[in-house]
Amino acid sequence: MFDIKSIFSSDGVLSRHITGFRMRFQQMEMAQAIADTIAKHQILVAEAGTGTGKTLAYLVPALLAGGKVIISTGTKTLQDQLFKRDIPNVRAALKVPVTIALLKGRANYICHYHLERSLQDTHMSFINREEIQYLQQIESYAHISKEGDKSGLSEVPENAAIWQQVTSTRDNCLGSECPDYKKCFVMEARKQALQADVVVVNHHLFFADVMLRDEGLSELLPACNTVIFDEAHQLPETASLFFGESISTNQMLDLARDAKVESLQAAGDFIELPNAIAAMEKAARDLRLTIAEENTRLALAVIMQTPGFSVALDSLLEKLMILTQFLESQAERSEGLENCWQRANNHLQLIRRWRDEAETQGYVRWIEVYNQALQLNATPLSIAEIFQKQMAASPRAWIFTSATLSVKKNFTHYNDEMGLTTAQTACWESPFNFAEQALLYVPTAMPEPHHKTYIDHVVQAALPVLRASRGRAFFLCTSLRAMQRVYELLLSTDNFDFPLLLQGQGSRSYMLERFRELNNAILIGSQSFWEGVDVRGEALSLVIIDKLPFAPPDDPVLSARIEKINSEGRNAFMEYQLPRAVINLKQGAGRLIRDEADRGVLMICDPRLITKAYGKQIWQSLPPMKRTRELADVEHFFHAD
């Protein structure tokens, strides 16, 4: 058995090989707990405060234990960091000959079949000259690239519309029927993953592929000895998404687009088909137009009262049924037409199920409305049993880690939600000296958050603090509307000349780069900047949070879950809403102190932190920083900076 203590000691192999490594007792203890969990095929839920060094704490025992390891992360950025930097560094330090593979969702890989179809398609009149240039660059890249990963072609922006034409989806992939199957980039990436000792995936891919066996990767999990989830606080949300069913108008439009191309190339003589495609496409667009709002979630009861929705849904079903019949009659003429028929049939079943099934026991039906699209969803009220079943399939170690999983070191909420009834739990505090490095400020004389001018009061209270900190702030809002209002108010403030950056003015990485460069900016953001963002040093010295991040109670999934818990005689607020808000708040607060030398103020504007009985539970879950309600203390803190 390897000796964790000597590896993590101040003169051990990590110290000699990894730049900036410092011995931390918390990290050593965490690594030992993970090594024991792996050896005994157990389940561990581990919270490790910022600066613990949890990546090394799980990588060292995972690489030394041998066997196959799946590491699942919250984002593609973290995936790339593990694959390109962290795992190679640890492998070199420990001198272990492990092979590693990076596996992303299929939308990240160029598809030869769809690229070829796009190059042949003379009807792509909606594509502008810039997109045609991108298409040529993608064609050249596909010839020379071994991986076909779109992140390797930086000349074509990640959000360019052309990517949709040259990558595959689960719907339109032809699988082993594809004429380009032997040189498929997705299949090659999977082959590498099956052969590798360590496979790095992200949560979306883990649940879509491994749990639901959707993408033919079901052989990956049985061979695996250890599964590690980093950023594990995101799992309940991701799992809910994948354990349910959903179908969107975008999928209909993709089907229409692919069916057009296929019918032109393989069934040009069948004149009824283009008309049926156009009719279905129009019906899908009409369904979206029945709802005026954008970026909102609506419960089934609300939607069914929306004028025209049911009629538009029936119309879509009718047009889709006609299209399905026509596609079936032409399916044998090409693999592509066969695929379009299968998809149309599958979409038909999903929409019928969503429309016709009375409120299925244990599921809630709702829709999400985007700018251009609308999605029908059926989501399980609880994922615990489904996840338990998947985990019980064969004995292996499961490790769940994040900086935010508990409420005052109590993991009941997280374990109940995920079905982790037999899990061991452990908590390691951050090694940072929060009492000296940070100050928690809750301003006085604030109205309740439901007050109609609440955000105006937030900005008034924040102005002197922003001046004292000389900008250098994240202003984190719990809604897009509040974010926009904060931006407008700061923009119109006299004699206030700090640079303002608003979420959405560029990609997240671009915004962070600008924020670091400017060194006195105020970045106003919503959900995108609450987690997974690391700004060390003086550029970020203040984090302002507008209010406690309780999920909106009119969210259809949340309100159905609240109703279910309360109907069982339990208290949904204390058991579900409060713990979720605490975990969310800890994420936002975690942006402030990222390093041993960082200093900063966390300003939470919400008076409920002081006035409500549950407020104490919330601030006791935050790192142990000094607390004040006096502006003078904040000014003094920054003066000493």
**pLDDT score at 212:** 60
Query: What pLDDT shows up at residue 448?
Result: 96
Burial class (CB in 10 A: 0-12, 13-18, 19+), 639: exposed
Q: Are 406 and 426 in contact (CB under 8 A)?
A: no
Strands (E), 327-423: 363-369, 374-380, 397-402
3-state SS assignment for residue 299: strand
211: pLDDT strictly greater than 70: no
Stretch 584-611: mean pLDDT: 95
pLDDT digits (tens, 9 = 90+) for 129-151: 888 889 999 999 999 999 999 98
Q: Please tell me the total number of residues recorded for the chain in this structure.
A: 641
In tens, the pLDDT along 461-489 reads 999 999 999 999 999 999 999 999 999 99
Average pLDDT for 325-351: 94
What is the predicted pLDDT for the residue at 119?
Answer: 87
CATH of domain 4-105+187-242+382-428: 3.40.50.300
Give me 555's structure tokens: 């969210």
* CA angle (204 as vertex; 108, 214 as ends), nearest 5: 85
For 142-170, what is the mean pLDDT?
Answer: 89
What is the reported pLDDT for 213? 60
Whole-number Cα distances in Å, 60 to 20, 68, 103, 230, 412: 17, 14, 21, 14, 28
Lowest mean pLDDT among 25-29, 95-99, 278-282, 386-390: 386-390
The mean pLDDT of the chain is: 92
What are the phi and psi torsion angles at 268 (to 5°)?
A: -60, -20
- SS3 state of residue 415: helix
Distance CA 270, CA 264 (A): 9
Q: Facing residues of 627 across strands?
A: 440
Whether pLDDT at 48 is above 70: yes
| Paired sense of beta strands 424-428 and 43-48, if any | parallel
d(CA 61, CA 48): 16
Tell me phi and psi for residue 604, to 5 degrees.
Answer: -110, 115
Q: Which residue, among 381, 410, 365, has the nearest Cα to 567 in the 3D structure?
A: 381
Amino acid at 533: V
- Residue 510: both structure tokens together: 């671009």
**Residue range 111-124: mean pLDDT, rounded:** 82
pLDDT of amino acid 125:
54
Identify the pLDDT of residue 137.
Answer: 93
Give me the pLDDT at residue 392, please: 82
Instruction: Give the per-residue pLDDT at 157.
Output: 84
- pLDDT computed for residue 449 by the predictor: 96
Query: Residue 356: what pLDDT?
Result: 86
Task: Give me the residue spans of the domains in the chain.
Answer: 4-105+187-242+382-428, 110-167, 243-380, 434-639
For residues 267 and 339, the answer to whether their CB atoms sit within 8 Å is: no
pLDDT category of residue 573 using cuts at 50, 70 and 90: very high
Amino acid at the residue 442? V
Q: Which CATH class is domain 434-639?
A: alpha beta
- Tell me the percentage of the chain whose pLDDT exceeds 70: 96
Give the pLDDT score at 219. Answer: 67
**pLDDT tens for residues 268-287?**
899 899 999 999 999 999 99
Which class would CATH give 243-380?
mainly alpha
* Sheet of 245-248, strand order: 245-248, 374-380, 363-369, 296-299
Domains 243-380 and 434-639 share a fold: no
**Average pLDDT score over residue span 392-418:** 93
pLDDT confidence of residue 264: 87
pLDDT at 3: 92
